[in-house]
Structure formats: structure tokens, C-alpha cells
Structure 1
Amino acid sequence: MVEEVWQVMNIFSSKSRASATVGVQPVGSAASSTMVGSSRTDLLESSLGGYTSVPPPVLLANGNGVAAPHADLDKVAILDAGSQFGKVIDRRVRELNVYTEMLPLETPLAVLLERGFKAIIISGGPASVFAEDALVYDPALFQSPIPVLGLCYGFQLMNTAYGGMVGKTARRNDGQTKIEVDQNSLLFKKMDTIQEVLLSHGDSVTIVPNNLTVIAKYNDLVVGIANVEQKKYGVQFHPEVDLTVNGMQIFRNFLFEIAGLRANFLMANREQECLNYIRSHVKSKTVLLLASGGVDSTVCAALLRKVCSPDQLIILHIDNGFMRKNESLQVVESLKKIGLKVIHRDFSDRFRYARRRRPEEEDGADYVSVVSPTLMETVDPEEKRKIIGDTFMEVANVVLKEDLKLELNDVLLCQGTLRPDLIESSSKMASQHSEAIKTHHNDTNFVRQLRARGLVIEPLTDFHKDEVRRLGLDLGLPAELVNRHPFPGPGLAVRVICANEPYKAKDYDRTVILLRIICSFSSPTWHLSVLHENVRNTLTLEEVDFLKRATKEYVIAGHVLPIRSVGVQGDGRSFKHVAALSTDSRPIPWPVLSRLAEIIPRICQSISRVAYAFGPVVKHEIEFITETTLVPFHVVSKIQDVDAIAQKVLWDSGSYLSVAQMPVILIPVVFDEDTVDPAFPGRKHSVVLRPFISNDFMTGIAALPGKHIPEEVILKMVTEIQKVGGISRVLYDLTCKPPGTTEWE
């Protein structure tokens, strides 16, 4: 039924886009009674005809709840515009005991009224409201009596719907920022004037119409608007994420003070819901679980054990050759200790020589080999992820056929897929409009084909990492398993930045100069520079004052590295340069470096990640790279060695639980060589430490030495890693998420 409804919606959306008009009609205009971007006739037929006779598709959302006895639920519709944080909105509202459903942005008001929704939240998204292919929506939403809260894209949509303007400005915002709010606004009731929030956007509101009131500002930038009489509110930031400190209070104010809803939806036992889900799908079938040893697959195994008989359950651990040092054996032993029988197979060689596989046709044809580089020769991070993801399925099939005399079609594949995995992979299970940030190994095209054939069960797709950990403890799993740091399915293969040539963006030379200006802002060298004036004009007064003081007190060098790293900005994927900061100042001025890491990506549009390079100040630009692929016994063994050192120091120091995760990355960068023969570039690599603090891994901050983790722990890691052969320098990633993702690729 869900697939049939989606087909109706897809036809509806394609009709709408086929007759799209440029621009957004303001509320009250002649066109505002029809769906923006659609012909009025088509939309009336759609909304008043067969469309409303079938409930619109509900995006996979949290179903773990029950109504209070005899309660008539107050319901909130979350209209999805493609946000990376759409499911987090759903989670936050349900945590306040209000029922939610996630629906496509294009859902007509008539449907929402018929379904009895009493409030609407419009999510953020990667699109632009003024683009020619802007998302379809019903402007009648803003004329209705239903209270509306627009977040980011929803905020900009609301401003344009009322007749305002949205456009590009000189700077973008990506990170935790202090804003000023109007305490007299109901949306900010019981909140201080200054609030820390997450801003992540490229477009900005440039003109606010007379029928809206400004209720929040970031210096001269409008980040909050309202039409109090019509109960319409919008904010440019993300109240749903942890980086917005008082986001839950904003939701309380909207739901209870503004919309007048009742908290009559009670969260039920999520363990029981998962068991019911598994029981209803598995029945008498055989289940295959690919166990990595991480918390997600281990929790799945514990759930399956409660439902399945021993002869129904196959737990398979595959060593892909990119595990941590000696980790596969440790994983198998840890799973055996909790009573799980595990099949362990080493397919390292198979993975190294695996090639990309694609379906011949779009309708789900069998996979066939195509001519492509082997994994060892591949440098593109997305290609690496897809090769590894599909190879997992292939070798699992080998084990089934050769060892167990089964076919992949004969079993149900169980995966510990979490909500962030689906969102970052741009799965339609999570959103119809989100952009792919990176492909997860549990959401490749091959896996999606198996899902379409009903051969995949994923009991945790509604969970975030912190929720899975709580569930694991409820299931009686040992704390050391539950609190294990996340480790990507492709393993260390995606913690080696591969490259066969230096990367330089189109505006590389300009970016180099901008970075120098920021790092030496007070230098008289720049005072007559037009670029210096441009930078100054895009900074706040507080940021100007900070840069003047910091660059007078410290000599800090900034260098643009000729490599790329993945990030997430404005709910979309970025693939940009990394900036390296260095200084001779001791002690290392971590707060200053951290603040620079916030400012630099806002000003330098080709940089999305900033790291500090340990050692003396870097004097020369880095022009060349070490050509790097996943060559066995060289690059892979090097990353295994440095990762083992860093993880051991972290564990031995008692700091393991101080951070949520600590990726260790090998990058093809050599410092301190002013001249390198391009025919014989240096063979060294550098190492990046990425201690990261997060609850749900949708957003987070870099752990700051001396604040979140003892500096001496980090310095010991650096000292020990530098003893490994072929290491140029060690760096420390200072970037929040956004703009930088947890992983580097």
C-alpha cells in the first residue's frame, strides 16, 4: 500500500513540476490559493479528487508510542523538505509526548485538515526557495488557522510566502553561533536574550515583509520571524539538534504555548516494539546478520536471539582487510562471551581486488561486473564505499552457498541500520528530498534491491546512536560492548584519503589569500587590500575584535591543503579543501584555534574543515601530495599502526568515554618540504586525530584539548605516532559538524 501511495505522490509531484512557475507567490496573492509550482486545475483535481481519498505517504517515523487511555491525539505534521535533521525533529516532538507524522512537503493543506493535524513544522533542506526547480508546496499553509513553525528552509519559505525576499549573502553560516532573541515572543518564552544555536545555511533572508515581525537576529542577519495573529513562526537555525542549547524549550513553547496542544502521546516500550517488528517479519524464515562487533549489529543480534531459534539465526563476521589491528578476533571473542555463535571469514583479498558492480538496468536486474578499477586502485571515496558495500553482499552469498548450501534469496538479511545512515545515504526511506552525504555500506544499490524484494529487516531504522545504546543496556548487554566507539562498515578503507594528484578548487589562489588574511588579520600588510575589506565586511564586530586581538598576540599560519574532505553544509553535501593552522606559540592556544576553525569556513567558501598541525609553524605552501591508494602492506598497515597507538593511549588514559568517537585518518600530505620533484613526490603521509563529541551523531563538536580531554593525552598520542615510519606530521581536527562530518570521507 505504501508503495502504491508513493506512486500517486510521484505522479502528483511530476505533474506539479511539469507546469512549474518561477518564483514564490506571497500569501494573499491570486496564486496563493493553489500549490506553488503547479497549475491550479491539476492541483484542485489532485487535492479534492482521488488524492485525499488515500492518506499521503508517511515517511518512516517513530511508531513506538501509544495514546493515553481514551485520549484523542493532538497531531503534528512534519513536512519534509530534505533536512538531514528531519527525523530529529520527529524525535524531539515525540519526546514531549506529542504525536507526529512525517509527510512530504508537497502535501496539500486540504489533506492536513482532513487528517486532523493541529500544528505543522516545516523542516530544513538543501534546496533554494528561489531556484527554478524549487520544491513544490501549498502556500495555503500560511493562510490557514493551523499554527506553523518553519525551520531553516521552512523559515525562508515562510518569508517568501508572505512577500519577503531571500538571497545569497557574502557569507554562509555553518556552526554553533550566539544569536539575540526577543524575549517577548511566545516562541522564546522562559529563555535568555542570548542563545546558542546551530546555523547552517547559504541563503539568507534579505527583506522581511511588513506582515512579519523580526523576533531573532544574528547581528544584522534576520534569523527569526513571526506573524503572531496567524500563529506563524520561523527560525533560520535548527532547534532540534544538540548544538542549539535550548531547542527543546522552543518546541515546548510552540507546541503548548502557541499551538495549545496536549501532551497525550506516551512513549511505549521500544524493546517490545522491535521484537514485535522482528517477529512479524521473520516467522519461520532463516535470518542472516552481518555482525561487525559494533553496538548496532550487536543490539540486533540480542534482539534476534529473543525471537529466533538457534537454527534460524546465522551470525556472520566478515574481515574485509580494513579492520583495526587484530580487531576481528576480538570481535568474535566478545560476541561469543554473550552467547552468540559466530561464523568468522576472512575475505581480505576478495575486497582488495573487488570492482564496482552496477545493475544493467534500473528495474532491479541481476548485478554484473563492469570494467572499473579495483578497490586498491580507487581514489574516489564514494566509489570505495559502494565497492565495499556490494562486496559484503557478494561474500555473504559465498558463505551461504558454500558453507550453508543456501541462496541469498532464501534468507532475510538483518542489518543494524540507523536513521543517520539512511539520511546520509539519501535513502527514500528517510526523506524524499535529502541529498546524499556519503553512501553507507548498509544502504548501497544492492541492499536497496534486496529491500524492494522484501528480503531485508532493519529493526533500528528509527533509532539514533544514543537510543541504541540505551536499548543495548536494557537488553542486558555489557557496558563495554554498548559503549564501544562507532566504526564505519568499510573500516579503515574510508579513513585513508586516497588521491592521485593534488586537488585545487577553481578559487584556490583566492582561498589561499583569504586564509592568510584571516590568520594575520591585524598585519598592516593587508590594510589597503580590497580582499581584507571584503573579509572585514563579512565579519561581525565581535569577530573583528577577536581577530585583531588574536593575531596580535599569536603568530598563526594558515595553509590550504591540496586535498578534499566530505562535509555537510546547509543540509547538503560539500567536498572541499582542508585548512591547516600552525603556530610556534606555547602553550598551544586551543581556544583561539577553535574559534578560527568556526570563522574560516564561513569566509572561505572552498574550505569546510580546519585542523591544527602539531610542531613548528609551517613555512611553505603544500603543493604536492603523496600518491595514495589502498595498497596492501603499505598504506593499510600504516593506518592500522597509527590507529592502534592512538586508541591505546586514549583507553589507557581513561579518556575513552570522554568522547563519542575518535577517527584516526591518514592523509596524503607532506609538510616541511619547500621543493618537491613532481615526478618523485614524497612518500610520507600525515595523520589526523578527530576526537568528537556527540549524542546522536547528527551534529557534534570537536573535543578541545584541555577542556574535554586532557592535553597531555593528545600530546602523548602525537609523540607515539611520530615514531611510526613515514609520518610527516600529526594534525588535530577542530571542526564541528556541520560543516565537517564526523568522518573525513
Structure 2
Amino acid sequence: MAKSFVKQGLAKQQEVLLTHGDTIDKIAKGFTQAATSGKLIAAISNEKKRLYGVQFHPEVDLTESGKQIFKNFLYHICGFPGNFTMQNREEACKAEIQRIVGTNKVLALVSGGVDSTVCAALLRKALKDHQVVAVHIDNGFMRKDESESVKASLERIGLDLKVVDASLTFYNATTTILLDKDQPNPTPCLTSTLNTTIHPEEKRQIIGDTFIKVADQICKELNLNPLETVLAQGTLRPDLIESASSLVSGNAETIKTHHNDTVLVRQLRSEGRVVEPLKDFHKDEVRQLGRDIGLPDELVERHPFPARNYQNFTNVNQYFLCVLILTRSRIGNPGDLSEEPYIEKDFGETNILLKILADYANADKRRHALMERVQNLTTDEEKELLTEMTSRQKITGTLLPIKTVGVQGDCRTYSYCAALSSEAQQIPWDDLYAMGKIIPKICHNVNRVVYIFGPPIRDSPRDVTATFLTPNVLSTLKQADHLARKTLMDSGLYNKLSQMPIILVPLHFDRDPIMHHPSCQRSVAIRTFMTNDFMTGVPALPGKDIPEKVVYQMVNEIASVPGISRVMYDLTGKPPGTTEWDESCDLQPALRLIHSSPQ
């Protein structure tokens, strides 16, 4: 770090998140180099004009001194006094609610998660009791006993909650999407029903639009005048950023559609019929606000289900189970029910690269043709680390024929998932975690890395198990998620993690390829996630962040569920992986399936 606003209170060398591929070779006149990353210019400054620029992301947790950088800029350069408090923000939220709602009534779809609960609590503080109508919608894709738990917990804080069972409505729901969106006159297309839909983005749009339709029906049943009723959502800043909402950016690419930011929601916003008091908040700020207004820890610290993004509109403060189920591996045109595995032309080469990295110490001696690529894309420190790791124990690397969602360079990516396995009795978690960071750097078409428990994978599947949102599939996922969460809660570590999606993956391992046994089982991935704001984050490292015995107990419990082939542990940070997998594999919450055909 050079002498500039990135100097005060900072170490000379520190970790930052630098994800973009664009760089500058020459600094503009009057500017000086303020920081570097290797040979790359990471920050510039013009002290005379008080202009500064950074190439990395100071706003995320993965930049270890990001808050200090902002303090230096805001307080020492801009001269802000720093007297704006959470109390100020609470009052601003209540003022916005009163301005938008006025004398109308407000319909709050409450999931039971922290965002929708804090939103509902703010509504109660800002408005009169008769103005707030709180509803919890059971969409049929909730966790095991989720709706009953939500109702009980919210009634304990005095929230009069109406529970609506709309499971059949969601199960058979469809919506209209636009094809060729980049064309002047995009073609409207009716989706398949939700229980047979494969594409994750279509699932999200169906869910979001169906919530709006169900909300309208609830208004009618409760005799609420639509023209005198406002919809309340617990939308957060990251939801708008990831769905490329015009409220936050005119240029961002959609990383993931949130069902609280669909086309219908945007239309309602334009009509002034949506109130979103938390839209400028991040998750950690919402939790603090919840504490400040008196909500109990059991609600404030609740994990998103499955992900923080689906809360509000949905009465689920989570990703519905239907998003946690990888329903298929290949993404095609709307209505395309392809059951093929995701194996493109680059599959074979990528699989070889994985094997080289997993056996780097010996591969370096054999000098495979692809070794030069590995050498060119790794630093000296990474080469040394790979040699040490692969000399200590034998690690097997294999590419899985599924597609998962990631975020790389501010763009959404649909890429392969790499799997590692080992014969080691003591799993080398530190080495596996390091491999999980190196592999996506070398294999740009990989955005997620998992460890597969059990014997090393000899023959990776080349097909997938047909998987739709049918009752037996949902039951399998609900039970696996229930057992994993119960283990976590019984261990007293629930608040240690920010989220723990459990993903159902349509892969059946341990079949002899010569015998041609059909793929009929599925596997489960445990996605631990630690973050403050959900913009970036890291997996919990067994033996460090979470006891190994707890992880092994989860694995054993999940493996006991009928129809489960193998259990995996997600080693990926965000970026390059998203919180959730969602087929595309995701993208963000607690339960997920990869589909193919009715089972």
C-alpha cells in the first residue's frame, strides 16, 4: 500500500477481493499508484484533486480491511462526522412506510425469516394495528414442519398471523416468460407447471408471480381493496443487486432473479404499490435493526431458507425446496425437458486438468501436455502448495456432469462442479479448501468444488437421475434437510453459520459402468456458508469453524435417508460459487433439487 487513503490504519500487505479480468497498463497524468496485486495496479490516487480509485472490492467481507478503507475515505477525506446511527435508519424506515402507505392497508407476506419479520415489526411500529395484515403462505415447498414453526414463533412476539395453504396452487402454477429478450419484440411463452419445470430462473419467476397472484386472491378473501392496499416486502440491497434492479444499477448483469424482484413486482413498484423499507440494508444491518426494535435472537439469527433471497414475497425466508433441488443438469430452451447430463466438448479436457491438479506432484514429473497451462496460470506459491498437498496424500479429482450457478467478475456463470475424494482416514480439510480455491482459477469453466465422503470416486456418473418436484423427491430432501439442521442445532452451532442449504443432486455414484445399471438414486450436498452480508462468504472449514464430529454426524444422518447415494461437502467460497447451487444449479437456500423426469 502506498501513502494515500488506503494507508491509514492498514497493514502494508493484506487480502482483498479482486475478481475482474480488466486491468490498466498506464496511470493517468496526475495519478500515482497506491496499491498493487502482483504486477496489477490495484489502486490509484490523485492527492491534489482528492480523486481515488480501487480495482478490488472494499465493500465485501473478503477484503479484510475494507471497512477501514471506507472510514479513511469518508471521515478523513470527505469529512463526514459519522453521526448517522441505526436509530436514524429506523426512523427513516418508519417515515418511508408512512409516506408510501398513508391511510391504506398493507399486506405483509411473512416467511418467518429475519428480513420479512423485521419488515413486519417495522410496519407495526409505523402504522396503526388495523392497517397491517400479516399473512404466511405455505407454498408446499417449505422445510419439514416449517409453517407450524413460523406461526408459533411469530405469535410469541404478538404478530397476528394468518396462514394460507396454497401448496396445490404453487405445485401446478405456470407463468409467462419472454423469449429473445434482447429483441425489439420478444416472444411470450407459457412455462410448464412448477412441478415439472427444470430451469431455475423459470422456477423463480413462477414462484414470484404466483405469490403475487395468491396475494391478490388473499386481498379478495379478506375484502381488501386492491387500490387501497400496498404490498410489503423485506427486500434487501443484495436482492436488488443480484437481480440487476434499476433501483441500484443500470448496468449490472442479472446474477440471479429474486422472486421479490420479478417483472410483476417491478410493475407494482412503478405504480407505488410496494413498500420495501429494508431495500437499502444488508443482512447484518437487518439483524442489528431487529435487535434494536426488540426482536428475540431466535428470530433475528434465523437462517435463510434456503437462501436469504426468497423471503418476503414468498412467505419463505429462504429458498424454497424447489430451488434447492437440482432438477436437471443441462439448460435448454423453455419447455425443453432434456434428461441428458451436462457434458460439453470441454468436459474431457477439464476432467484431465482436474486429475493433474489432484496429482500435481506426480503429474509435474510426467509433463502432461496440459501441464503447461497449469504452470502458466499458477503462481510460484501455488505450485509449491500443490506439490506439498498432493505429496502428503492421494486425492482423486473428477468432473461431475451437472451445471451449477456461480458469480465470477460480477457476472452469473453456469459451469461445471468439480469433485474431490480421498482414501485418507483423516480428511485433509485445509488442503481440500486450498484446492477448492485453486481449481476454479485454473479451470475457468468450474465454479464449484465439493468433497465426496466415502471411498475415492473411481467412475464418475455420466448420466443423471430423473428428478422433478414430485412428493417423493420433496420428501427425501425435506428429511435430509431436517436431519442436518437438527444435528447442527443440537450441537449448539446454529448461530456459527449464516446459512446451511442442503442440496439434492441427481447423481447416482458407485455403479459399474460395464453393467449399465440405471441411475435411480440421488446425492446430497451440504453447503455451509459464513458471511455478514451474503454478498461474499466462505464455507465453514471442518476442524476449524465447525467440529469434524458434527460434520460426520450430519453425513451419517443424511446417508441413512433411503435413496441417497453419496454425501458431499461444498468447499466453494462466494465468489466463484453462489450461496446456493440452483441448477443452473442454484443459486441461493436450503433445499435444492436437480431435475430430469417424473419419478
Counterpart in the other structure of 2:571: 734
Q: Map of 1:633-672 to 2, 5 A cutoff?
A: 633-672=471-510
Between the aligned partners of 2:324 and 2:9, the Cα distance in structure 1 is 44
Counterpart pick for 2:295 among 460, 471, 477? 477
Between the aligned partners of 1:299 and 1:352, the Cα distance in structure 2 is 28
1:470 counterpart letter in structure 2: Q
1:266 counterpart letter in structure 2: F
Counterpart in the other structure of 2:273: 455
Counterpart pick for 2:346 among 507, 514, 526? 507
Corresponding position: 1:496 with 2:333: no
Between the aligned partners of 1:237 and 1:355, the Cα distance in structure 2 is 41
1:628 counterpart letter in structure 2: T
Between the aligned partners of 2:178 and 2:24, the Cα distance in structure 1 is 43
Counterpart in the other structure of 1:431: 249
Distance 1:328 1:264, change over 3 A: closer
Counterpart pick for 2:65 among 225, 236, 246? 246
Secondary structure of the structure 2 residue equivalent to 1:193:
coil
- Structure 1, 651-660 or 294-303: larger mean CA deviation: 294-303
2:165 counterpart letter in structure 1: D
Q: Map of 1:218-237 to 2, 5 A cutoff?
A: 218-227=37-46, 230-237=49-56
Please report how far the alpha carbon of residue 537 of structure 1 lies from its aligned counterpart in structure 2 after TM superposition: 1.6
Q: Map of 1:586-597 to 2, 5 A cutoff?
A: 586-597=425-436
Between the aligned partners of 1:605 and 1:218, the Cα distance in structure 2 is 20
More relative contact order in 1 or in 2 (CA 8 Å, sep 6+)? 2
Corresponding position: 1:338 with 2:338: no
Corresponding position: 1:549 with 2:367: no
Counterpart in the other structure of 1:35: none
1:336 counterpart letter in structure 2: E
Please report how far the alpha carbon of residue 233 of structure 1 lies from its aligned counterpart in structure 2 after TM superposition: 3.7
Counterpart in the other structure of 1:64: none
Please report how far the alpha carbon of residue 396 of structure 1 lies from its aligned counterpart in structure 2 after TM superposition: 1.7
Unaligned runs of 5+ in 2: 182-186, 311-318, 329-338, 587-599
Distance 1:506 1:215, change over 3 A: farther
Between the aligned partners of 1:560 and 1:202, the Cα distance in structure 2 is 25
1:283-323 per-position Cα deviation (integer Å, ceiling 9, x unaligned): 21111111111111111111111233333221111111110
Counterpart in the other structure of 2:554: 717
Corresponding position: 1:266 with 2:84: yes
1:616-662 per-position Cα deviation (integer Å, ceiling 9, x unaligned): 1111132111121111x211111100000000000000010111111
Counterpart pick for 1:577 among 416, 423, 443? 416
Between the aligned partners of 1:308 and 1:251, the Cα distance in structure 2 is 35
- Structure 1, 263-272 or 303-312: larger mean CA deviation: 263-272
Between the aligned partners of 2:515 and 2:466, the Cα distance in structure 1 is 13
CA contact (8 A) 1:424 1:439 kept: yes
CA contact (8 A) 2:452 2:569 kept: yes
Secondary structure of the structure 2 residue equivalent to 1:443:
coil
Please report how far the alpha carbon of residue 186 of structure 1 lies from its aligned counterpart in structure 2 after TM superposition: 5.2
Please report how far the alpha carbon of residue 397 of structure 1 lies from its aligned counterpart in structure 2 after TM superposition: 1.7
CA contact (8 A) 2:200 2:323 kept: yes
- Structure 1, 243-252 or 646-655: larger mean CA deviation: 243-252
Indicate the structure (1 or 2) with the bigger Cα radius of gyration: 1
Between the aligned partners of 1:208 and 1:277, the Cα distance in structure 2 is 44
**Structure with the higher fraction of residues in strand conformation:** 1
Secondary structure of the structure 1 residue equivalent to 2:136:
strand
Secondary structure of the structure 1 residue equivalent to 2:62:
coil
Between the aligned partners of 1:548 and 1:264, the Cα distance in structure 2 is 49
1:568 counterpart letter in structure 2: V
Distance 1:190 1:453, change over 3 A: closer
Distance 1:206 1:675, change over 3 A: farther
CA contact (8 A) 1:419 1:464 kept: yes
Between the aligned partners of 1:221 and 1:709, the Cα distance in structure 2 is 36
1:27-55 per-position Cα deviation (integer Å, ceiling 9, x unaligned): xxxxxxxxxxxxxxxxxxxxxxxxxxxxx
Please report how far the alpha carbon of residue 388 of structure 1 lies from its aligned counterpart in structure 2 after TM superposition: 0.7
Counterpart in the other structure of 1:564: 403
Distance 1:524 1:190, change over 3 A: same
Counterpart in the other structure of 2:528: 691
Corresponding position: 1:296 with 2:133: no
Secondary structure of the structure 2 residue equivalent to 1:269:
helix
Counterpart in the other structure of 2:592: none
1:536-557 per-position Cα deviation (integer Å, ceiling 9, x unaligned): 1211110000001111111111
Please report how far the alpha carbon of residue 517 of structure 1 lies from its aligned counterpart in structure 2 after TM superposition: 1.2
Corresponding position: 1:384 with 2:203: yes
Between the aligned partners of 2:105 and 2:406, the Cα distance in structure 1 is 39
TM-score (norm 2): 0.88
Counterpart in the other structure of 2:176: 357
CA contact (8 A) 2:177 2:191 kept: no
Between the aligned partners of 2:577 and 2:483, the Cα distance in structure 1 is 24
Distance 1:687 1:254, change over 3 A: same
Please report how far the alpha carbon of residue 432 of structure 1 lies from its aligned counterpart in structure 2 after TM superposition: 1.1
Counterpart in the other structure of 1:743: 580
CA contact (8 A) 2:364 2:371 kept: no
Distance 1:681 1:474, change over 3 A: same
2:269 counterpart letter in structure 1: R
Please report how far the alpha carbon of residue 252 of structure 1 lies from its aligned counterpart in structure 2 after TM superposition: 3.6
1:68-110 per-position Cα deviation (integer Å, ceiling 9, x unaligned): xxxxxxxxxxxxxxxxxxxxxxxxxxxxxxxxxxxxxxxxxxx
TM-score (norm 1): 0.71
Between the aligned partners of 1:620 and 1:398, the Cα distance in structure 2 is 51
Between the aligned partners of 1:325 and 1:333, the Cα distance in structure 2 is 15
Between the aligned partners of 2:361 and 2:24, the Cα distance in structure 1 is 31
2:341 counterpart letter in structure 1: P
Secondary structure of the structure 2 residue equivalent to 1:509:
helix
Between the aligned partners of 1:486 and 1:222, the Cα distance in structure 2 is 38
1:695 counterpart letter in structure 2: N
Counterpart pick for 2:166 among 343, 347, 359? 347
CA contact (8 A) 2:417 2:448 kept: yes
Between the aligned partners of 1:333 and 1:409, the Cα distance in structure 2 is 32
Unaligned runs of 5+ in 1: 1-180, 363-367
Counterpart pick for 2:439 among 590, 596, 600? 600
Between the aligned partners of 1:197 and 1:552, the Cα distance in structure 2 is 29
Please report how far the alpha carbon of residue 203 of structure 1 lies from its aligned counterpart in structure 2 after TM superposition: 2.7
Please report how far the alpha carbon of residue 352 of structure 1 lies from its aligned counterpart in structure 2 after TM superposition: 1.1
Between the aligned partners of 1:371 and 1:501, the Cα distance in structure 2 is 23
Between the aligned partners of 2:342 and 2:482, the Cα distance in structure 1 is 29
Distance 1:407 1:638, change over 3 A: farther
CA contact (8 A) 1:670 1:682 kept: yes
CA contact (8 A) 2:75 2:82 kept: no
